[in-house]
A and B are shown apart, each in its own frame.
Chain A
Amino acid sequence: MSASTIRATARLARTKVTEACSQGWRHGALGPLTPMTSVASQHRTLSTSSSTKHSHHDQSKQSTEAGLDSIYTVNKDEIAKFAAMSDEWWAPQGPFKMLHLMNPPRIRYIRNRLEASRAISASSSSTDTHSRARFPLQGLRILDVGCGGGLLAEALARLGAQVTGLDASNENIQMAKIHSKKDPLLNGGSPGSLEYRHQTAEQLLEQGLQFDVVCSMEVIEHVENPAGFLKVLGQLVKPNGDLILSTMSRTPLAYFLTVFSAEHVLRMVPVGTHHWSKYITPKELEAGVRDLAGCEVLNVQGIGFNPLSGQWELNRNRTEQSMGILANIGASFAESVNYFLAAKKTSPSASASSPPS
Chain B
Amino acid sequence: MSTRLLSHTTARARITLLANAKKHHNHRLVPALSCSRFLSTHATPDSSETEPYDVVIVGGGIAGSALACALASGKATGTQKIALIEAFDLSNHINWKPRADQYSNRVSSLTPKSVAFLKRIGVWSELDSSRIAACNGMQVWDGVSGARITFDAAHSNDRSTFLQQVFADAPQSPSSEQGSDQQSPLAWMTENLHVQYGLQKQMLAHKNRGVQLDIFEKTKVQGISANVSSSSPQESSSTDISEWPVITLDNGKKLQTRLLVGADGVNSPVRSFAKIESLGWDYSQFGLVATLEVDHSTSTALDQGKGVAWQRFLPTGPIAMLPLNNGYASLVWSTTPKIAQDLKKLPAQDFCALVNAAFHASPADLEYLCRNIGPDGQPQVDFQKEIEWRASVQELESHAVARQSKDAKPPKVTAVQENTRAPFPLRMRNSNSYVEDRVVLVGDAAHTVHPLAGQGLNQGLADVECLARVIEQSLLSGSDIGNIHSLTPYSSERFLPNLAMLGTVDKLSKLYNTDFGPVVWARSLGLTAVDNMGPIKTEIMRFAMGLEDVPSSAARR
Contacts and interface: CB of A to CB of B under 8 A. Distances in A.
Interface in B425-478: 437, 473-478
A183 B480 contact: yes
A175 to B, nearest CB: 9
B230 A182 contact: yes
A220 B437 CA distance: 32
Given A104-B473, A306-B553, A308-B553, 5 more contacts: A92-B437, A92-B484, A154-B480, A183-B239, A309-B553
A247 to B, nearest CB: 21
A178 interface: yes
A156, A157, A184: residue with the most chain B Cβ atoms closer than 10 Å = A184
A159 B555 CA distance: 25
A318 B86 CA distance: 51
Nearest to B437: A92
Main secondary structure of the interface of A (DSSP, over half): helix
Contact of A103 (B75, B479, B484): B479
Given A133-B476, A155-B477, A184-B52, A310 B238 contact: no
A131 B480 CA distance: 17
Most buried by A among B235, B243, B479: B479
A181 B239 contact: yes
A182 B478 contact: no
Interface string A91-103: 0100001001101
B557 A155 contact: no
Contact of B492 (A174, A181, A309): A309
Contacts of B479: 103-104, 107, 155, 158
B485 A187 contact: no
Interface in B68-91: 75-76, 78-79
12 contacts: A92-B437, A104-B474, A107-B476, A108-B477, A133-B75, A133-B76, A155-B477, A159-B478, A181-B240, A182-B230, A183-B241, A308-B552
Contacts of A184: 52, 239, 241
A103 B552 CA distance: 22
Contact of A178 (B75, B78, B235, B473): B235
Contacts of A159: 478
A313 interface: yes
Contacts of A314: 557
Query: Considering the complex of A and B, which 8 residue pairs feature the smallest CB-CB distances, nearest first?
Result: A155-B478, A308-B553, A104-B477, A158-B478, A107-B477, A133-B75, A159-B478, A309-B553
Interface of B: 52, 75-76, 78-79, 230, 233, 235-236, 238-241, 243, 437, 473-480, 483-485, 488-489, 492, 552-555, 557
Contact of B485 (A92, A123, A174, A177): A92
B389 to A, nearest CB: 61
A130 B473 contact: no
Contacts of A187: 239
Contacts of A177: 235
Contacts of A103: 477, 479, 485
A156 B236 contact: no
Nearest to A161: B478
A7 interface: no
Interface in A131-162: 131, 133-134, 154-159
B79 A130 contact: yes
A158 B486 CA distance: 14
Contacts of A156: 478
A145 to B, nearest CB: 18
Of A104, A155, A187, most buried by chain B (CB within 10 Å of CB) is A104
A115 interface: no
**Interface SS of B by simple majority:** loop
A311 B492 CA distance: 10
A306 B489 CA distance: 13
A332 B224 CA distance: 52
* From B52, B79, B477, residue with most partner A Cβ within 10 Å: B477
Nearest to A158: B478
A82 to B, nearest CB: 18
Interface string A167-192: 00000001001100111100100000
Contacts of A77: none
Given A155-B479, A156-B478, A310 B473 contact: no
B79 A134 contact: yes
Interface string A294-328: 00000000000010111101100000000000000
Contacts of A155: 477-479
**Contact size range, A:** 35 or more
Interface in A99-121: 100-101, 103-104, 107-108, 111
Nearest to A177: B235
Contacts of B76: 130, 133-134
Nearest to B436: A92
Interface string A211-240: 000000000000000000000000000000
A182 B241 contact: yes
A290 B484 CA distance: 39
Given A92-B437, A92-B484, A182 B239 contact: yes
Contacts of B75: 128, 130, 133
A131 B210 CA distance: 13
Contact of A182 (B243, B484, B554, B557): B243
Contact of A310 (B233, B484, B492): B492
A130 B235 CA distance: 34
A101 B477 CA distance: 12
Contacts of A158: 478-480
A345 to B, nearest CB: 24
A178 B557 contact: no
Nearest to A156: B478
A309 B493 CA distance: 9
Contacts of A174: 235
A26 to B, nearest CB: 35
A178 B236 CA distance: 8
Contacts of A107: 476-479
Contact of A92 (B233, B241, B483): B483
Most interface-central of B78, B241, B478, B492 (chain A CB within 10 A) = B478
A349 to B, nearest CB: 34
Interface string A3-19: 00000000000000000
Nearest to B484: A92
A174 to B, nearest CB: 7
A100 B127 CA distance: 43
Contacts of B484: 92
B485 A309 contact: no
B435 to A, nearest CB: 10
Contacts of B238: 181
Contacts of A104: 473-474, 477, 479
A181 B235 CA distance: 9
B478 A310 contact: no
B253 to A, nearest CB: 19
Nearest to A129: B75
B242 to A, nearest CB: 8
B228 to A, nearest CB: 12
A158 B557 CA distance: 22
Contacts of A128: 75
Contacts of B240: 181-182
A342 B76 CA distance: 26
Contacts of A183: 239, 241, 480
B79 A131 contact: yes
Nearest to B52: A184
Which one of A97, A100, A156 has the greatest number of beta carbons of chain B within 10 Å?
A: A100
Contacts of B239: 181-184, 187
Contacts of B555: 309
Interface in A49-95: 92
B476 A123 contact: yes
A130 B489 CA distance: 24
A311 to B, nearest CB: 7
A134 B76 CA distance: 5
